[in-house]
Structure 1
Amino acid sequence: MKVLLVCAAGMSTSMLMKKMDAYAAENGIDLEVAARSFSELKDPKADGYDCILIGPQISYQKDKVVKKADGLPVEVIPMKDYGRQNCPAIFELINNLIA
């Protein structure tokens, strides 16, 4: 699966991205994850992403992300899961989006 994380600037989301990579490796999950700031979001569908997760700090941008997503599933990561970097819950969210 190929997941795009969208955030404000990328600091905390890049930490989450590394934790997701480690979790995927430990659990045999085929994952390619990237983090981009909202301002860098161009054409995620053309880049082959399966879904987009938005950091809760920019949840107010969800409608704009949905428009740029061109039909890709988009969801905001719940604040508690984002803050705790709760990979099991985040992967459950991903699975529900792309199922």
Structure 2
Amino acid sequence: MLELSCIASHLLWLGPFMADIGARTPSFYIFRERELVYDLFEAATSMRMMHNYFCIGGVAVDLPYSWIDKCLDFWIGVIGGEEAINWGLSGSILQASGIKWDL
């Protein structure tokens, strides 16, 4: 949920930025993806924005059973370990691709 919050925040920055530099069409796609993130928030917490999901000691409620499938459908692709190395990725993205690497 924290990562989805980060993605929604970055999309909120990217959409208007693209419009400011004259790229109108990508901003529509960006806001569409942001709405998908908000749909995931709503499915988990019944609120699209300002959701009170995290609390001291954990989270307010468990995720609904169908939420994981909805979240997996949201992600567009998977980066394998070999691709991550070839692209020169590092940090958490490299570790998420299955490569055990830490500096």
TM-score normalised to structure 1 length: 0.32
Which protein has greater RCO, CA pairs closer than 8 Å, 6+ apart? 1
Q: Is the radius of gyration larger for structure 1 or structure 2?
A: 2
Q: More strand by proportion, 1 or 2?
A: 1
